[in-house]
């Protein structure tokens, strides 16, 4: 039996190209469709030949030209028109000289350009890519990048004690002296207390001295329990009219104000900072650079303690703090962030920065004045009373006026015995006088504990906010890295092949891609994704990282 031999005329189109795409496939081009793809490649510098015999994929080409004339070509495209209208794209991996008119060209399929419109790309583990949502705070995964040293861009104070005169001397007292006006209740900071709080103005030190002297004069020095610094912000001068005020009318005249017993936690002020948008003078292109650890707010209490606040954790573009405190010894004062890490203005206390304790004050009490007030009844009478209450009490008798007269006229009887004991009475009188003398030469007693620290001494009773960032050079280096390779992603998602104006970088771990294409080519495409690839969307800006790459 004879078979008819079907003859197919050679009809393969082959074009050698000078193409910017390289064999490592670290950078690839995307096209909206196959026509746009063909138009681009066909526009490149080329050598075009038609009427070739069937060109095998990943095979060799006998090209009618000297090798020296072909070395500048690195790419080719071909179509076996007798069998298909599909164009195949391939890298030229080697050119061999055969003779002056013939060269042997080895090709390797560009799997992405050949099959990009035949692929199905599914959700994969994406380790890194250019995000299509670069809103501030949307990308905060740790990059594991060395950020270098930090620098301060700006600083501002939140003051609760503007200077060393901007305070009251708060005095806790358990009793009051003559003509002293005090409320009947003693509830401070929501708790019942055993003392009242009186406010003295340190701008008039005589008031302080007279206040102490008044207590000494009435023998009530022990009624002064403590003295401490209290910022006037707790009791501003313009509200003192509502306080209980008074000026005692005896020798020790002084002005005072009694702190209301309803006084509790006080809002001393607020503090608002706009988010920092430059890093040591550098304006970043990627918003992740404006987040921690590249950019943050540091709040210090100026006494060795500070808190780091992330701009991205505030609910708005401002960092807002409320300054609150309680009127007690040391005065616990806190700068409390508002609407931070999902909290509101009343629940951010766990993120607050605490001020150092304000000083307590010591004072001198006149020992003799206190002794005289407590023991200053006629010394002789007191001695008789003392002897009467001790010696005669032991005998079950008390001296009467009649018995005293009888003793003076007769010198006998029970009263006579008393007079016989006159030496003892005189001794008691002497003891009392001696006690007074001893009190008069006893040094004044220092009471209370004087405390303070460098912060108060140098007038730095405030919170200070520092806008901190990495330095210019480091910021630019990291920002350029993000521009080239996107952000750490670590999510299972469909990779972002497009979405940026000029390029998208993608790196996966086990890319999930399918397609009705040769398995070796499919595996090569998956490997390209796993190795990391940059997809360029405009051939005219290929590899040009100076271009704008905003989200589109």
Question: Residue for token digits 């090569």?
Answer: 524
Q: How many Å apart are CA 217 and CA 367, to the nearest integer?
A: 10
Specify the pLDDT at position 451. Answer: 59
Q: How many other CB atoms are found less than 10 A from the CB of residue 100?
A: 11
- Position 152 in a domain: yes
Q: Is the pLDDT of residue 430 over 50?
A: no
Q: Is the pLDDT of residue 300 over 80?
A: yes
> Do 466 and 453 share a structural domain?
yes
Interacting residues of 328 by C-beta distance below 8 A, sequence separation 6+: 188, 189
Q: How many Å apart are CA 17 and CA 90, to the nearest integer?
A: 10
Q: Which residues pair with 466 in a beta bridge?
A: 155, 298
> Do 469 and 439 share a structural domain?
no
Q: Convert 157-180 to b/e letters by CB count within 10 Å (16 or more is b).
A: ebbbbeeeebbbbbbbbeebbeeb
Using the 3D structure, point to which of 443, 466, 495 is the last residue of a domain.
Answer: 443
pLDDT category of residue 405 using cuts at 50, 70 and 90: low
- Position 139 in a domain: no
How are beta strands 27-29 and 46-52 bridged, if at all?
unpaired
pLDDT category of residue 378 using cuts at 50, 70 and 90: very low
- Position 291 in a domain: yes
- Position 547 in a domain: no
Give me the percent of the chain exceeding a pLDDT of 70. Answer: 76
Interacting residues of 416 by C-beta distance below 8 A, sequence separation 6+: 407, 410
Q: Convert 112-129 to b/e letters by CB count within 10 Å (16 or more is b).
A: bbbbbeebebeebbbebb
> Do 393 and 309 share a structural domain?
no
Task: Give me 125's structure tokens.
Answer: 């583990």
The mean per-residue pLDDT over the stretch 471-493 comes to 98
Nearest to 19 by CA among 504, 527, 539: 539
* CB hemisphere CA count around 427 (13 angstroms): 6
> Do 227 and 342 share a structural domain?
yes
The mean per-residue pLDDT over the stretch 186-205 comes to 81
Q: Is the pLDDT of residue 391 over 50?
A: no
Higher pLDDT, 113 or 273: 113
Using the 3D structure, point to which of 414, 443, 472 is the last residue of a domain.
Answer: 443
Q: How many Å apart are CA 19 and CA 27, to the nearest integer?
A: 12
> Do 200 and 263 share a structural domain?
yes
Interacting residues of 294 by C-beta distance below 8 A, sequence separation 6+: 147, 279, 284, 288, 469, 470, 475, 478
Higher pLDDT, 39 or 50: 39
> Do 256 and 126 share a structural domain?
no
The mean per-residue pLDDT over the stretch 285-311 comes to 95
Specify the pLDDT at position 346. Answer: 62
Mean per-residue pLDDT over the chain, rounded:
82
Lowest mean per-residue pLDDT among 123-132, 212-221, 255-264, 496-505: 255-264
DSSP line for 401-459: HHHHHHHHHH--HHHHHHHHTHHHHHHHHHHHHHHHHHHHHSPPEEES-----HHHHTT
SS3 state at 39: helix
Q: What sign has the CA pseudo-torsion 83, 89, 91, 95?
A: positive
> Do 101 and 215 share a structural domain?
no
> Do 414 and 381 share a structural domain?
yes
> Do 316 and 176 share a structural domain?
yes
> Do 409 and 384 share a structural domain?
yes
Query: CB of 157 within 8 A of CB of 320?
Result: no
- Position 3 in a domain: no
Q: How many Å apart are CA 52 and CA 84, to the nearest integer?
A: 14
351-371 residue pLDDT tens: 999 998 888 888 876 544 444
Question: Residue for token digits 């009947």?
Answer: 184
- Cα→Cα distances 506→405, 430, 438, Å: 121, 103, 92
- Position 550 in a domain: no
Using the 3D structure, point to which of 390, 414, 443 is the last residue of a domain.
Answer: 443
SS3 state at 192: strand
Specify the pLDDT at position 163. Answer: 64
Nearest to 456 by CA among 362, 361, 363, 356: 356
- Position 143 in a domain: no
pLDDT category of residue 2 using cuts at 50, 70 and 90: very low
Number of domains the chain is built from: 3
Instruction: Determine the structural domain holding residue 288 and report its residue range.
Output: 148-366+446-480
Q: Is the pLDDT of residue 139 over 80?
A: yes
> Do 173 and 95 share a structural domain?
no
Specify the pLDDT at position 3. Answer: 45
Question: Residue for token digits 């196959």?
Answer: 34
Q: Is the pLDDT of residue 387 over 70?
A: no
327-355 residue pLDDT tens: 888 888 999 999 999 877 666 788 999 99
Terminal-to-terminal C-alpha distance of the chain: 67
H or E element: which one contains 383?
helix 379-387
Q: How many Å apart are CA 165 and CA 156, to the nearest integer?
A: 21
Task: Give me 206's structure tokens.
Answer: 């005589």
> Do 385 and 347 share a structural domain?
no
Specify the pLDDT at position 444. Answer: 47
Query: CB of 183 within 8 A of CB of 244?
Result: yes
Specify the pLDDT at position 263. Answer: 67
- Count of helices and strands (H, E) across the chain: 12, 31
Q: Which residues pair with 27 in a beta bridge?
A: 534
Nearest to 213 by CA among 254, 185, 245: 254
- Position 546 in a domain: no
């Amino acid at each position: 039996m004879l078979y008819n031999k079907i003859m197919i005329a050679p009809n393969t189109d082959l074009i050698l190209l000078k193409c910017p795409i390289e064999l490592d496939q670290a950078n690839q081009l995307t096209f909206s469709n196959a026509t746009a793809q063909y138009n681009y490649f066909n526009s490149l510098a080329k050598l075009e030949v038609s009427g070739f015999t069937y060109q095998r994929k990943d095979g060799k080409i006998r090209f009618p030209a000297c090798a020296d004339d072909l070395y500048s070509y690195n790419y080719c495209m071909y179509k076996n028109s007798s069998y298909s209208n599909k164009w195949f794209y391939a890298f030229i991996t080697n050119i061999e000289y055969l003779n002056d008119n013939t060269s042997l060209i080895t090709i390797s399929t560009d799997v992405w350009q050949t099959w990009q419109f035949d692929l199905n790309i599914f959700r994969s583990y994406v380790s890194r890519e250019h995000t299509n949502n670069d809103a501030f705070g949307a990308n905060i995964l740790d990059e594991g990048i060395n950020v270098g040293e930090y620098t301060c861009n700006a600083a501002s104070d939140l003051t609760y004690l503007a200077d060393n005169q901007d305070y009251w001397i708060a005095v806790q007292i358990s009793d009051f002296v003559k003509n002293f006006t005090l409320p009947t209740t003693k509830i401070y900071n929501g708790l019942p207390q055993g003392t009242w709080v009186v406010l003295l103005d340190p701008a008039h030190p005589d008031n302080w001295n007279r206040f102490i002297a008044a207590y000494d004069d009435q023998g009530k020095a022990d009624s002064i329990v403590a003295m401490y610094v209290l910022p006037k912000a707790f009791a501003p001068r313009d509200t003192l009219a509502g306080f209980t005020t008074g000026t005692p009318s005896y020798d020790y005249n002084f002005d005072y104000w009694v702190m209301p017993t309803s006084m509790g936690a006080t809002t001393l002020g607020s503090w608002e900072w706009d988010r920092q948008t430059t890093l040591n003078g550098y304006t970043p292109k990627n918003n992740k650079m404006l987040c921690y650890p590249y950019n943050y707010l540091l709040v210090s209490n100026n006494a060795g303690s500070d808190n780091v606040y992330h701009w991205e954790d505030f609910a708005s573009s401002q960092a807002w703090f409320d300054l609150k405190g309680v009127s007690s010894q040391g005065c616990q004062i806190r700068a409390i962030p508002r609407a931070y890490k999902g909290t509101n203005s009343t629940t951010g206390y766990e993120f607050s920065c605490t001020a150092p304790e304000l000083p307590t004050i010591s004072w001198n009490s006149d020992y003799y004045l206190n002794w005289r007030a407590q023991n200053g009844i006629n010394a002789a009478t007191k001695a008789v009373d003392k002897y009467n209450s001790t010696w005669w009490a032991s005998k079950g008798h008390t001296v009467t006026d009649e018995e005293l007269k009888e003793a003076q006229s007769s010198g006998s009887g029970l009263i006579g015995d008393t007079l016989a004991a006159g030496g003892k009475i005189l001794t008691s009188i002497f003891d009392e006088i001696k006690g007074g003398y001893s009190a008069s030469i006893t040094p004044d007693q220092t009471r209370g504990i004087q405390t303070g620290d460098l912060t108060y001494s140098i007038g730095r009773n405030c919170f200070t906010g520092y806008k901190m960032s990495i330095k210019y050079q480091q910021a630019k280096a990291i920002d350029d890295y993000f521009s080239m390779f996107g952000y750490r992603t670590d999510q299972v998602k469909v990779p972002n092949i497009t979405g940026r104006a000029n390029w998208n970088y993608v790196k996966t771990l086990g890319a999930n891609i399918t397609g009705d294409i040769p398995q070796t080519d499919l595996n090569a495409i998956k490997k390209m994704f796993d190795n990391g690839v940059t997809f360029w969307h405009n051939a005219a800006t290929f590899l040009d990282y100076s271009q704008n790459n905003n989200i589109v």
